[in-house]
Amino acid sequence: MVERLGCDLSPIDARSEDGALSLVSCVWPDQVHRLERLRGALRLAQEHPVEVVRQGGGDFLDGLELRARHHTVVWHSVMWQYVPAEEQARMMARLHELGAASGPDRTLTHLAFEPRRLVPDGPHRFVVAATTWPGGTERVLGEAPPHGVPVRWGDPTAEA
C-alpha cells in the first residue's frame, strides 16, 4: 500500500475524541456487533491515519491520476444515493477517462458497496461490485445487508 486518501462533504476526524464520539453516536446502543466493529475501525484509524479532505466525489476524482507501476482503487460505500445526478455523471465520466488512460503498468478498480435493483422494479439490494481497467468490465462480487456484514460472496445477479 503506497497511499490512501479519502473525501467527504463533511469529514469526521476518527482519531479525535469528538470525532470518535460522533461516529459512535450514529450506532444504536443495542447494536453490539456494529459497535464492536466501529471500535475496531477507530483503533485502525489511530494506527493507520488517512487524510480525508473536505470535498465532493466529483472534485476529488478530478484531482486523481493513475500512477505508473501502481494499481489504483476508488472505493465508496452507501454514498452514491446522496450524490446529485450531475455529479454522479461527472464521477462516472472521470472514472471512464481514467480507465481509458490505464494500461498494464497503471491499472484501476472502481469498487463499490451500493444499493441497486437487480431486476426492473425489484427491491434495492446492497451489492459489492468491481469494475477493472484496462477493459472496464464490471463484476458483481457479492451481496450484504445494508450495514455491510456478512457479505455473501458470489454474483447475486446470477440468481436474480
Ligand X SMILES: C[S@@+](CC[C@H](N)C(=O)[O-])C[C@H]1O[C@@H](n2cnc3c(N)ncnc32)[C@H](O)[C@@H]1O
The DSSP code for 83 is S
All cell numbers assigned to 3: 497511499
- Does position 83 bind ligand X by CB under 6 A? yes
**Helix 17-24, helix 32-47: angle, nearest 10:** 160
String of contacts with ligand X for each residue 9-28, x by CB under 6 A = xx------------------
- Does position 78 bind ligand X by CB under 6 A? yes
Near ligand X in 84-123, by CB under 6 A:
87
Q: What share of the chain is helix, strand, coil (3-state, %, to 5)?
A: 30, 30, 35
- Does position 42 bind ligand X by CB under 6 A? no
- Binds ligand X by CB under 6 A, chosen from 24, 27, 56, 64: 56
- Does position 77 bind ligand X by CB under 6 A? yes
